Structure 1
């Protein structure tokens, strides 16, 4: 063989090795026997220093044991990894990460290891930083106060701990499944998807308040916000945030109810002031006028006329007393202080007394009260006082709101389950839209005109019926009369 081409080939190979971008070393008998230029640069040592120091000298002390163990195993013919990362300790004290590949080669008359390596410190640092940032982001996302979901094609690809806790599933159970499982109605879910997709395509975001279903079937309200991973392209994925607003909505509803109740209370106060000023003014005026007649004309008035004036004063006082009694009674009812004390009573006798008392209180009424007690038992278990409140008011109203006369019927029918009382008249009736408000305190129908009243009677009736555990129903039409049916 011509020695010149061989020398040329060796020179070419030597140039390749020296100019290689990776460090190349040959280790034999625990010593470096060859090192290229890149190896000396990476380890910051001269060839002479490397040959004198031994191959473990530049290995980090913590990595030396397992590096030496692998070398022994490799020389013994055992199979060990031939690619790994190790820390190198440079002369200036810096620690660098090296990516190393090792293979066995013959070198002279003995085996050796060819080791090639590159500095991957920056890559390791970047990877560590990426891992740290990933862990931080993961911790932030999992500890967020809102539920977070990455969704593709409406299937969960990732969920945080808060969302899993919110819906009552584990994270593993939620991954890969459709969001339909969290909706009570699949049609509503489908419609929601169409609306959200349209918003995401148009603006890249979607916002709505929706009701979701927990694992236990409980429904709850969330404010959900979605944003496309890739602008205006929901198919690439959407990041959703969920805020449970159930308690907030309940608080808002409670606040609204409280405001409505306060408004209603203010209305009732206004009605009470108007009612008392109107209802007291008439009897007070009558009493004052009658008292002045007696004061100034007592000696001139005949005895019969004086008695009539005194009777007028007494009637006015009784009227005011009845009104005050009703106000006080309603106060007891609303304070839950009205007592329910049922006992055996003679129902027929009480009903007859109620009819007579009502006739006495309305001597000028054009209506006649007819009764039918033929289908009732004589005795029953009731609170006698409450019966007087219920049917005294209903019978009195029947006469009062029948200014043109007409029959007022009062019937009682006993059944095994209930005793059914019915009071009907042929009076002015009640407008249909006002019947739901009929039992509210101080409420009076809009068609009562100048007929006097406090708006308290039916509120007292309703509470007395409720205390008996009964019910009351109303049927009425303007101009055709009214029927109250009470079941006790």
Structure 2
């Protein structure tokens, strides 16, 4: 309470105005200054000219009757407390004035000094409290965070606009009266209150993240804080954390991918060192034997050791080629050079080479129903990578004496290849990541391999804008089906070749 209290007295009766000032003097508690006006318009003008702490106003003025004076003063100075002076000891009139914004009312002729001072003090304090509450309410309403108040029955009795927006509602009445459990029935908690009540009783609050559903059934993630109020009820603070959860998931995926890449690097070094060590050991031992004993053994044995060296070099060259091809593909630098190719003649030649390498251990059976000398524009090098890797895998993972079936079907829009074996098969759990680099079936045992072949096949098929599918049964064999779309025409301009493919259906028949 300020010691120099500035009072605006609005009273058209000079006697009543003098009496009121005399009553203030008798109180002797306050140092006060009274500005006296007799009309509502004069009061409004005075408010705009100088500051006041409180207004004492008669209800009956020359230019305002009844509650009009209260309404006019509240409109001009909503932050100032108003005490109404009435000549009638009528409670209804006093209450009506309070509903219009007055802080209190006094009946003329019954005003004692102590009552007047107490009324002025209380009116000013209540006004200050109301201003704070109004500011807090305005802050809650304008907050970007969803804010709600629950009663003791966990029913919503207040929600701000952000809360409505968060849940997709337009009007507060659509939520007010709804219970906490009803609004969060899709959270996965069953009864949410049953989960949060023990923590609130113990700590006074509960905080957690849960799934919620908007009015339009859209799912979102929210962070919810429920705090118990001292006088009963609860306040809820809600934030939409969907974007944060998405970013967290991306970070976790990135970390997982980084971990996976580190593991792949380790696997690569382990696999490559092992794959190089075997042919190098063969080459080294053959060279040593030739150096020491070539003059002591037959020409046939020396020739056999030379073949071991050649085969070792070929094996190392094959491994290096795999690594180089995959690196080119990963960097987007693997060239695509389609040429006019007799697919049937190409397949005959390639399978003859593969059969010579397989020797008598496996038989490659080639079928080509209806394919007679059709020529298509395809990339011969990529096609060779696709077929040699698939056929060599079919041979490698099949028992000696088994057969590998290669089928070719040429259509106007695409060329279909099928490679089937009678081998160990691929476990279902391995199929999903079969074409990832360094991924091998969990049942390969000691069969050598780098895990690069199928990754290269997949890259080459993608460069052709083709499709590859695999079906397999452990212990019975595997079938790979590849569809390569035909390049309809090539447009060459300024040394750049653009590809235009005939469309390929989504499924491989």
> Does 2:509 match 1:486?
no
Whose Rg is larger? Answer: 1
* Shift in Å, 1:146: 3.0
CA distance in 2, matches of 1:258, 1:31: 85
Deviation at 1:145, TM superposition (A): 5.6
Contact 2:361 2:400 in 1 (8 A): yes
Q: Deviations over 1:224-253 (max 9, x none)?
A: 12234478xxxx754211122223222221
Is the deviation greater in 138-147 or in 328-337? Answer: 138-147
Matched with 1:50 is none
Residues in 2 aligned to 1:179 and 1:415: alpha-carbon distance in whole angstroms? 65
1:226 aligns with 2:226: yes
Normalising by structure 2, report the TM-score.
Answer: 0.70
Q: Shift of residue 321 of structure 1?
A: 0.5
**Residue 60 in structure 1 maps to residue 29 in structure 2:** no
**Are residue 101 (structure 1) and residue 86 (structure 2) matched?**
yes
- In 2 relative to 1, CA 175–274 (structure 1 residues): closer, same or farther, beyond 3 Å? closer
Change (3 A) 1:416 1:154: farther
Q: Which residue does 2:342 correspond to in 1?
A: 346
- How far apart are 1:28 and its partner, in Å? 11
Measured at CA, do residues 34 and 429 of structure 1 come closer, stay the same or move farther in structure 2, by a change above 3 Å?
closer
Alignment partner, residue 328 of structure 1:
324
Q: Secondary structure, in 3 states, of the residue corresponding to 2:369? A: strand
For the pair 1:382 / 2:367, whether they are aligned, the reply is no
Per the alignment, residue 366 of structure 1 pairs with: 361
In the alignment, which residue of structure 2 is the partner of 1:124? 123
The alignment partner of 2:469 has SS state of: strand
* Structure 1 match to 2:448: 452
Q: Please say if 1:188 is aligned against 2:186.
A: yes
Residues 52-81 of structure 1 show CA distances to partners (whole Å, capped at 9, x for unaligned) of: xxxxx98514x4554999x99969899556
Q: Gaps (5+ residues) in structure 1? A: 1-26, 47-56, 88-94, 104-112
Contact 1:427 1:480 in 2 (8 A): yes
Flag the 1:78–1:325 CA change in 2: closer, same or farther, 3 A.
closer
SS at match of 1:318: helix
Q: SS in structure 2 opposite 1:375?
A: coil
The CA RMSD measured in Å over matched residues stands at 4.3
Preserved CA contact (<8 Å) 2:58 2:84: no
5+ residue gaps, structure 2, are 1-10, 44-56, 74-79, 89-106, 485-509
How many angstroms apart in 2 are the aligned matches of 1:224 and 1:455?
A: 48
Mean CA deviation greater in 123-132 or 391-400 = 123-132
Relative to the length of structure 1, the TM-score reads 0.73
Q: Which deviates more, 268-277 or 154-163?
A: 154-163
Q: Which residue of 1 aligns with 2:132?
A: 133
SS in 2 for 1:264: helix
What residue is the counterpart of 1:258 in the other structure?
Answer: 254
Q: Secondary structure at the match of 1:437?
A: coil
Q: Report deviation, 1:325.
A: 0.5
CA distance in 2 between counterparts of 1:74 and 1:268 reads 91
What is the alpha-carbon distance in structure 2 between the residues aligned to residue 250 and residue 425 of structure 1? 44
Change (3 A) 1:343 1:138: farther
